[in-house]
Structure 1
């Protein structure tokens, strides 16, 4: 029987997606595409309809408030005219001020009767009286007046000639306690220039006008003077009195939370309505939630259809996956797979042949691994020589100690430490171990050159356990030693954390320093000749290590000039080990 061989080409591993998720993706995309198009069109249309509906409601309410306030201010103006000098009551007031005691009593009764009549014919009016500004005297009041009454403290809505209209404020009637509108009108008397008539609206009149909105109390009413400054606010914590809410600074600080609408009166004062964007968008939000719900149902239906399609090929693929995972268990009996789907029947036969070939390849690999293990043993043996050097130095150190040669004992001990650290495994080391190896190296160099030089090492204890590249401090200090450090010389090594992300290592000396050409030679690992021949190799190693291991995340800088000492600064990414 002729075997069917698979076509050569890309392997199954070249595909990075699952057939199951491909089915899901195709059906979901085919469902969401028309849904997104229809939803976008519906959203734009519904958004405009609902927005216009909400805006029309706010503006209608604002218009009613503005008209009511205009009417109320007109009533105040009309009543104040009757009490001014041009009216009958104003004439009686002039006579009252110049009359004797008996006439004053008679005129006082007439004035009070006239005031009562005006109040009776205008039930929307409340407190009214005459006010003498110079001596702060109140006359003919129809209700009690607060002792601290001062028109200068009231919020001015606008002024017209000798008339001042005040925005909503607390009544000056101490037993009222409600918000009112008021007017102050100058009374032109021949003998006095400080007489005013003051009138307020009836109690709760202003509150009734302002608070009647159809948004359940979420609409905030404001009243602003012609300059756009708030003189009354239902929400003083959000729109304080004196805040500018119109013009170039309109709603600048609250634009994220509120929408504002305004309507000006004939006298240029403004009624303003502010509504939170969340309340304004409430109907739009409900529609969006409904749309999202039906979209989710459609998406679930698409996933269900995809699952039904997937189920047709799920079992054959599951059995094939099980056979593939069982290939690693050699010696097991593998069942012969059959399928009514022709494509899977061919795959089962081909996989059986492949499994047999894999078994043969595994046997060959086992033979090769045994040879590789022998090579590893030989490689390990080649690394024993450094241990021989360390052991020999230990022997010399103990002989010197036994003969009382303390200096030799100390010298060999430091040399052994330096060799043990430098010949150890590559990779990272603890900052504490790097500093300890540096101290041993410095002590060796002091014995070699037969003079003491001051090496100061500063590192915060919290940084000592951080991992850093091995053999990074010694080349920097070695560079300082070989560039003109004399008996008065010093080297300062500082390690600090920078911005919580990097480790900054700085090595500074007071030696001869060097010019740009010498720095370039050292970083390139080239000799400068003379007594400094071959001394740039270690510094070049550090430069190349920082460049290739850390890239742009690390930096290596040398600051030096002839006769001015040298500073080498490294900036390495901070890597803390996870506990």
Structure 2
């Protein structure tokens, strides 16, 4: 598609788009930042809540297990119970023998001790004797304790010391309605190497599960043993299974218990943590979308009213572009558009007046051009007359007058000639020689003009009449029409052309030199001599840029030296033809 065929976007559309973007970008940025910060805060809060829940469960389970250990210690180290158990070991007899009443009374006493140890059924305590006799705090009809003898872990109790505890973990209970328990076991040995009794304490898993189920259903809290096997879970179907989870979808935290290698593990889905945040910002987004739509409708309506005068001016400008300046907008008002319409109408009126003036000036300009063409013959006529007078003076023996006419003609030619703003340095010095001769004749002075220039410096070009203001200052203000010497030295130094103009005049005090030098630096000229130096410096800056400079040195009674520094690669250029002639 041709780009020229595309319709340009109107000012009203640009204003509306800009206003919408100015609202949309900050709103979107603020929403994104607030979403990010709020999400982090709420996520951190949800994580803290999950960890707080785990801390409560940890403390609860720790209390239960510590209670189990406390009861096991109390039973194992009770002197009366150990005495009865040892007495039972001492009166061992065959199965055909009748049980001794004393043994029966001891077992009954242990049973009563176990019944009185707990006020509820929170723990199931079992004492298994070496001969298979059992004493419990529960009825045999609920669970037969002899079934512990068939467990795979039971033979390991014989390997324990008297102070060790075997952490059975999640154990299947043999009673209806209570399928699992958290069980610990000990071997009661006393002074013997072989146990003479076994202590088994079981905590129904359902008591722990009830606590786990009081928290958020989306949070999984469980007890896991050292092998990663789940001992208790708020979902009973997962008890006895291995712990497995996807870290990319779940936030995992754990806290170790101080026994058996068990730990409390909490799993919370990330989508559950951010669920509330997502809902919150969905509502905020819908609300902002409604407000944004209302704003767009309002801005379009207001911009249509505000830009109508501007569109009228644009149509007027299109008509004027065709060349007809008679149309006017007639837009009034105190606002910017009204002022613009009034100014536009006034401008059209002034343009019509200016066009008539320009037509008149063009006619006058044509007449002046004819006069200027005629005036171009006058300088040539003047130089020819001066040359004729000089030749006549020489023929009559007036050599001094002829020399003055030659100097005047050369200086006038350099002054009037506008064809070339750059001259060779040797031509500039020759012009200054003529200028000094004319000044000597005018003021009847005896001023010596000396030049010391290296051969490689005189071939470079410099701005025409660059040295004239400096030489004039030296004559008028340095020598003060009393005669003296003006010396010009030229050389090349570090890719710069150096021109030093020194006079043997009265000089200047240091304060005046500093004031004059600072005036050149800040562009403020000083009276008298300062004006000429400022003009020279301004021409140098225009010709060479910033890589040039003027340095002033003066001593009272010994004269003043003006040193010009100009880059060789600047406005001045090397004169190849002149250099070839010198070679």
- TM-score (normalised: structure 1): 0.44
